[in-house]
A and B are shown apart, each in its own frame.
Chain A
Amino acid sequence: MTALIYPADAKVGLELTVNGERRVGEAETRMLLVHFIREVLGLTGTHVGCDTSNCGACTVVLNGRAVKSCTVFAVQANGGSLLTVEGLARKGRLHPIQEGFWEKHGLQCGYCTPGMMMAAYDLLQKNPNPTEEEIRRGISGNLCRCTGYVKIVEAIHYAAQKLRSDPSWRSGGD
């Protein structure tokens, strides 16, 4: 039996839905999804903060689940549906998570913020009414060095409340 082995730098054509739009691009088989998002798709809102999957700055929602895009190969996303920070707002209207982060001073340097918001997005999809404890655990894979998290927790609480009271934000978007 022969396994189908691509050389690491062989290029593969990809097609996926990104923030609701169909996008195509080429990636080396070894290319990380985060580099594909940033450098091929040109969406630089997703950041890289480490190389050990600890910091979560690169968190995106892939096929409805939050993933650290530094730990996924671009080819694994082929045919999938991707939501990045750029896709959170709808028709010029900020997503309640974005609103919450702004309102509650949930960010300072802004570097961890997109990943943090995408982790919050995932959390609130699964658990629309989280306790403080659940929020803290829900974002424990995302490091922030500026805020001390208390205000991020408040921001996510704010968003949860908004999302519960405004069903127009339910489902879709990715």
Chain B
Amino acid sequence: MTEVPVIHGMGSAVKRKEDVRFIQGRGTYVDDISLPGMVYLDFVRSPCAHAKLRSISTEKAKGAPGVVAVITGKDLQPLGLDWIPTLNGDKMMVLPTEKVVFQMQEVVGVVAESRYAAADAVKLVEVDYEPLPVVTDPKKALEEGSPIVREDKRTNHVFHWEAGDREATDRLFEQADAVVGQDMYYQRIHVSYMEPCGCVAYYDSVKGTLTIWMTTQAPHVVRTMSSLITKIPENKIRIISPDIGGGFGGKVYVYPGYIVAAVASIVTGRPVKWVNDRSDDHPSTAFARDFHMRAKLAAKRDRTLLAFRVKAVSDHGVFFGDANPSKFPLGLFSICTGSYDLKAAFVEVDGAYTNKPQGGIAYRCSFRVTEAVYAIERLVDIMAHRLGIDPAELRLKNFIPPEKFPYRSVMGWVYDSGNYAGALRKAMEMIGYEELRKEQEEKRKRGELMGIGISSFTEIVGAGPSHTFDILGIKMFDSAEIRIHPTGKVIARFGTRSQGQGHETTYAQIIAQELGIPIEDITVEEGDTDTAPYGLGTYASPSTPTAGAAAAVGSRKIREKAKKIAAHLLEAREEDVVWERGRFYVKGAPAKYKTIQEVAFAAYTNHPPGMEAGLEAVHYYDPPNMTFPFGSYICVVDIDRGTGEAKVRRFVAVDDCGNIINPLIVDGQIHGGLTMGFGTAFMEEISYDQDGNIYGANFMDYTIPTAVETPKWETDKTVTPSPHHLLGAKGVGESATVGSPAAFVNAVVDALWPLGVTHIDMPLYPWKIRRLLEEKGYALDK
């Protein structure tokens, strides 16, 4: 028998295929694309957060050296492109004609022969603004008499949304022995991908084709929307999403730059490049979170958690652009009962328009799951402290027990599988929980501040089943198209778009597992709408749960046909042919076999009479349910009573994402997510003053973690496969961003609880902690 080749299937920590180009500077990001005759687009941006446009004078700019076009909202109006639909059925301004609605909004597009010439000419456009009253606080925006942000809506109220059972929740709160409540603000943050948004748009007037190389996570949806809006036939629009320098949800949205670049190409007949500077990107692209919550949790004397309620106001900025499934205006926030076996829950949320750019990015999170996890994990911690019991103990007592899965939550979600106590116990063991509590007690006696914080989160990802999930009517399936060449090599294309998650490797591993073909022989392509099968794209962690499953089903379809061909080659009946990874043989005679490669060759050279030639499959996978990854994180902090700095001493993360395709990549995803959660908890915030001036418009003012502050993460796993996913996988890309912020905050509050501190809003800046220490008379001065 010949040796079975190493294929690097499921579970192999193989090095990533895509890295070969990235480590040699040979990736192709949007700004790396250069076409003959290309010109550059730059924008005049509004200094005001809310102002009437009295006049725009473009004459000087038009006459400036190298300028080829100047585009205003009035130019877009006759094309019906001054406003376009958002992904949530609202509409957004592309360029203003009457008024500007947030600071740094794009006002006029200037196209010139070089970046520098475009930037020069931007300064020559004269815009006369008449300032209008500004509203940046969503609660004030909902008050009577507040300035109206959107004349077309006549109100700042975007929606009212409820989930759960109000009466049942009320009843349980009345019967409860203990109730805790907390107002919390989950601050506005930016995803801060390293590659700013941009595109190269080219309209070929002879062919009538529009091609856009674009920093997008969802190329297919963008193509369909573009066609519906512009009436350019969909077969004449090609969206190419090349290598993407991080997306995290921020590159799902369609920003004015893309539209104006496309129009500019039509106007000038030349390819047009637009790439945001960071200082333009941060203040004008979409934001995440910005969520004001009032949460309450009820418990019985015996420490059974009963019911949870949240009343919240969400700030959506000027346009309701959240890329949420259409039935869920506030995403999947109703996962907020988390890992606990509660008897009832009720949430109500009001959305508000304010003079800020659009918000609601599902920042590395399945649509508001992060806010939901934060709410329940903070409240469970507060309850434990109030009841005077260990937060780990309260969690262990109230977790949904493993035997209750599949578990229907009071919010109606059916959790696929879980072993929450298993993950928490493992994390406690890893970090030495009992000893840490003893150490903490000792330190408290000495006046030292040390805190331990837990977060035992449950996520909901892989949106989603088509009966419930769609974006603007397009169902949230994803797809794979797999083609085996005669020599047994593979090209596989997907509707998703990797932004660093390593799809070229993980998808190849899935196909390798199913077909026994080594990953070196499998090329994975995504992002080109002319070649890839239709799919929703990559956001809300759908890639493994949906496209990964599509790869498995597609591979199995191929295997079925291959088996028929193998039977023909082996001169056996199909039912007597046995599959063993990479080869077929006749039952009882494994020595005589045909490899998948031999079968592939036969599919084109010697296929059975009456059978269609070729060996390929397409599959559009509609998941039967969501998947529910979970985990337990434990954080230890030491607080400096002088500076107020909370230093993360250790952080242990035990994740359970079901079966793992590539442990190296899973670990990388968790590390990255934890670091983002760390940034959220300790340093990241975009705020506005009352005039709508932004704070945090670039990396000078918006600090993201560097290697110096970032803790050394300690990760491990438990494995509880998803029963309904073909590979038993659940997806992992978002777990750590979702789960970790509560662990950091719980740790800091745990340290300060004896001083009477019950909550601190993120980011946990040293000055905030220092101020609290001063108030409590606990601050040290040198």
Give bound CA distance, A35 to B191, whole Å: 26
The minimal Cβ–Cβ distance linking A52 to chain B, given in whole angstroms, is 5
Q: Mark the stretch among B85-93, B241-249, B427-435 that contacts chain A.
A: B241-249
B279 and A108 within 8 A (CB): no
A46 and B699 within 8 A (CB): no
B245 and A111 within 8 A (CB): yes
Give bound CA distance, A149 to B675, whole Å: 9
B23 and A112 within 8 A (CB): no
Which B10-40 residues have C-beta < 8 A from chain A?
15-16, 18-29, 31-32, 34
Chain A CB within 8 A of B195 CB = yes
A111-B246 contact, Cβ under 8 Å, with A140-B708, A145-B194: yes
Chain B CB within 8 A of A55 CB = yes
A43 and B194 within 8 A (CB): no
Which A105-119 residues have C-beta < 8 A from chain B?
105, 107-114, 117
A39 and B27 within 8 A (CB): no
Give bound CA distance, A151 to B191, whole Å: 21
Chain A CB within 8 A of B713 CB = yes
B194 and A144 within 8 A (CB): yes
A105-B665 contact, Cβ under 8 Å, with A135-B707, A149-B707: yes
Closest residue of A by beta carbon distance from B247:
A109
Chain A CB within 8 A of B704 CB = yes
Q: Which of B29, B700, B713 contacts A111 (CB 8 A)?
A: B29
Chain B CB within 8 A of A102 CB = yes
Which A87-103 residues have C-beta < 8 A from chain B?
88-89, 94, 98, 101-103
Closest residue of B by beta carbon distance from A156:
B707
Interface residues on A, range: 35 or more
The minimal Cβ–Cβ distance linking B38 to chain A, given in whole angstroms, is 10
Chain A CB within 8 A of B278 CB = yes
Q: Which of A9, A31, A108, A150 contacts B710 (CB 8 A)?
A: A150
Chain B CB within 8 A of A62 CB = no
B671 and A136 within 8 A (CB): no
Q: What string of 1s and 0s marks CB contacts (under 8 Å) between B595-614 and chain A?
A: 00000000000000000000
Chain B CB within 8 A of A161 CB = no
Chain A CB within 8 A of B192 CB = yes
A101 and B19 within 8 A (CB): yes
Chain B CB within 8 A of A21 CB = no
A35-B500 contact, Cβ under 8 Å, with A47-B195, A143-B699: no
B196 and A107 within 8 A (CB): no
Chain B CB within 8 A of A81 CB = no
Chain A CB within 8 A of B540 CB = no
A109 and B23 within 8 A (CB): no
Q: Which of A30, A45, A144, A150 contacts B25 (CB 8 A)?
A: A45
A110 and B699 within 8 A (CB): no
Chain B CB within 8 A of A84 CB = yes
Give bound CA distance, A1 to B243, whole Å: 53
A49 and B23 within 8 A (CB): no
Residues of B contacting A50 in the complex (Cβ-Cβ under 8 angstroms): 277-279, 698-699
Q: Which of A45, A103, A140 contacts B707 (CB 8 A)?
A: A140
B671 and A151 within 8 A (CB): yes
A52 and B699 within 8 A (CB): yes
Residues of B contacting A88 in the complex (Cβ-Cβ under 8 angstroms): 24
Give bound CA distance, A146 to B195, whole Å: 12
Give bound CA distance, A136 to B675, whole Å: 14
Chain A CB within 8 A of B486 CB = no
Closest residue of A by beta carbon distance from B192:
A145
Q: Which of B18, B31, B704, B712 contacts A145 (CB 8 A)?
A: B704
Closest residue of B by beta carbon distance from A133:
B708
A111 and B34 within 8 A (CB): no
Give bound CA distance, A107 to B115, whole Å: 29
Residues of B contacting A144 in the complex (Cβ-Cβ under 8 angstroms): 194, 707
A109-B500 contact, Cβ under 8 Å, with A84-B25, A153-B707: yes
Q: Which of A45, A52, A105, A112 contacts B194 (CB 8 A)?
A: A112
Chain A CB within 8 A of B233 CB = no
A145-B710 contact, Cβ under 8 Å, with A51-B279, A108-B502, A110-B18: no
Residues of A contacting B753 in the complex (Cβ-Cβ under 8 angstroms): none
Give bound CA distance, A54 to B698, whole Å: 9
A146 and B278 within 8 A (CB): no
Closest residue of B by beta carbon distance from A117:
B23
Chain B CB within 8 A of A76 CB = no
The minimal Cβ–Cβ distance linking B271 to chain A, given in whole angstroms, is 14
Closest residue of B by beta carbon distance from A42:
B34
Chain A CB within 8 A of B2 CB = no
Q: Which of B28, B191, B194 contacts A49 (CB 8 A)?
A: B194
Closest residue of B by beta carbon distance from A54:
B699
Q: Which of B26, B243, B279 contacts A52 (CB 8 A)?
A: B279
The minimal Cβ–Cβ distance linking A133 to chain B, given in whole angstroms, is 9
B713 and A148 within 8 A (CB): yes
A136 and B708 within 8 A (CB): yes
Give bound CA distance, A50 to B499, whole Å: 18
Residues of B contacting A105 in the complex (Cβ-Cβ under 8 angstroms): 15-16, 664-665, 667-668
A140-B706 contact, Cβ under 8 Å, with A9-B116, A52-B279, A86-B25: yes
Give bound CA distance, A35 to B31, whole Å: 11
Residues of A contacting B401 in the complex (Cβ-Cβ under 8 angstroms): none
The minimal Cβ–Cβ distance linking A136 to chain B, given in whole angstroms, is 4
Q: Which of B15, B16, B246 contacts A146 (CB 8 A)?
A: B246
B15 and A103 within 8 A (CB): yes
Q: What are 27 A-B contacts with C-beta separation under 8 Å?
A: A9-B65, A9-B117, A39-B34, A45-B26, A48-B31, A50-B278, A51-B698, A52-B278, A85-B25, A89-B24, A105-B665, A109-B499, A110-B18, A110-B19, A110-B27, A110-B243, A111-B193, A111-B245, A139-B707, A141-B706, A142-B707, A145-B194, A146-B194, A146-B246, A146-B668, A147-B672, A149-B706
- A47-B195, A110-B19, A149-B707 given; 12 more Cβ-contact pairs under 8 Å: A28-B116, A31-B116, A101-B23, A108-B502, A109-B499, A111-B195, A140-B707, A144-B194, A144-B707, A148-B710, A151-B667, A151-B671
